[in-house]
Amino acid sequence: MAAAAGRAIAAALLLVAVLCGGASIRRSEAIGVNWGTQLSHPLPASTVVRLLHDNGFDKVKLFDAEEAILDALKGSGIQVMVGIPNDMLADLAAGGKAAEDWVAKNVSGHVHDGVDIRYVAVGNEPFLDAFNGTYLNTTFPAMQNIQAALVKAGLADKVKVTVPLNADVYQSPTGKPSDGDFRADIHGLMLTIVQFLASTGAPFVANVYPFISLYSDPNFPLDYAFFQGSSAPVVDGDVTYQNTFDANHDTLVAALRRNGFGNVSVVVGEVGWPTDGDMNANLDYARRFNQGFLTHIASGNGTPLRPGPVDAYLFSLIDEDRKSIQPGNFERHWGIFNYDGTPKYALSLAGGNGTTTLRPARGVKYLDKKWCVLKPSADLADQKVGDSVSYACGLADCTALGYKTSCGGLDAKGNVSYAFNSYYQTMDQDDRACDFKGLATTSSVDPTVGTCRFIIEIDVGAAAASGARGGVAGGVASVLAALALMVMVL
């Protein structure tokens, strides 16, 4: 009977390993990804966790501690960086009790339930100039209090406290990476934070965006953003930098070295390229950059000042139609997957050395196959048309409309129809959402033209019901329950 029990247990454990996707086997090839949730129609968390597994991601970075997402990550084997939004920093900085409550609710319980939380990201790019110093006095105290709470909970050895920072917190006065240092106006604060990271063994998390350099400066050399060599490389002593990522990364490494913290590890918290909303945000450039980056880090060569593996999280997993467009219309189009979990382009996460490409989300449910369009009889000169488009785009996503964007080739009527359909889908195809003072009508004919896709939204209710019945974590839990039952019976 003991032998039979042993065989049953071994079989069950093997099944658990299969369901987990062989995470330990993939570890050397895997890369992290940012999972944002600012969508009007999000995929169920269990569907996204399965999408992560299907594509070999073993690390995920979250911007908040959403219970449904953390629950879906139980037993998944995926390493988690859980985030704290900037608007919570003041409360967490004010006293230890708030930090202890946050850790108890969002870390301790989930860790004990099988969520592999490795980092707490306190804030997100809190020192951006755009914030006008709002978080300068609260970020570090909040980090200290979260650290103290983790120590009290007995988790400080497993869970590290850090803060994702935009690459603008360091710079080089000469443009050479070796002259890198921290920004003068926050230099003292940065050294305090880096000292904290060094003392706790936490990494410096930097968000690096070559696309933003191009977006901000039309004279920025385009080929310097990619990884196939540049016509305008940066020569720094014996080193020639052929791409902006390496130069940016090593500017940070030099800043750490200059201030006596050369041993602090670096994690690239966000890196990627958008696919729409700007003339330089397109599928070709995004594929070129992301594949170039993945191939670059898969080599294991690292950067000139920091050879070896690069720990990085792609930005981002899925497009988010509710993100702020204050930085630019491209903000809603960073995903390597569309809103519904379909891949945007071929991408080998193994760095081009394997045959694996992106796999779509499974089991996605859609609303009916119908679209809202402008009536053929409508007069474009009617003031109601312009007012209706403004209304629709104020409540839905029209960022694909514009100069040299995916829908930039539409005619005037096409633009109106796109706006109407975007609103109609956002409102779950409610009949009242396709009226616009009598200007619109529904159609069963897909109005998609060329690169301009007229979407049909996800049926969130149906998708949630389907997702609740499956998922990797759920499958593992079922097997573990069966294993426990077998042990008791045998």
By annotation, the residues acting in catalysis are 125, 270
Count CA atoms within 13 Å of residue 19 on its CB side. 19
Per-residue DSSP letter, 405:
S
Nearest of 15, 21, 69 to residue 42 by alpha carbon: 69
Q: Which two tokens stand for residue 343?
A: 């891949």
Cα 100-105-108 angle, rounded to 5 deg: 80
Sorted by sequence, the CB contacts under 8 Å of residue 383 that are 6+ apart come out as: none
460-468 contact pairs (CB < 8 A, 24+): 460/41, 460/42, 460/428, 462/365, 463/43, 463/44, 463/47, 463/363, 463/364, 463/365, 464/44, 466/44, 466/47, 466/363, 466/365, 467/43, 467/44, 467/45, 467/46, 467/47, 467/363, 468/44, 468/46
Start-to-end Cα distance in the chain: 7
Nearest of 46, 45, 135, 44 to residue 85 by alpha carbon: 135
Q: Which two tokens stand for residue 401?
A: 């409309």
SS3 category, 311 = strand
Q: Which two tokens stand for residue 35?
A: 């999972």
Q: How far apart are CA 176 and CA 408, in angstroms?
A: 38
Pairing of strands 116-122, 79-84: parallel
Provide the Cα torsion 142, 103, 42, 62; round to 10°: 60
Per-residue DSSP letter, 440:
E
Whether the bond into 316 is cis, omega within 30 of 0: yes
The answer to whether 161 and 143 have CB atoms below 8 angstroms apart is yes
SS3 category, 480 = helix
E strands present in 160-216 = 160-162, 164-166, 170-171, 181-182, 204-207
Q: How far apart are CA 165 and CA 128, in angstroms?
A: 8
* DSSP secondary structure letters along 447-482: --BTTB-----B-HHHHHHHHHT--HHHHHHHHHHH
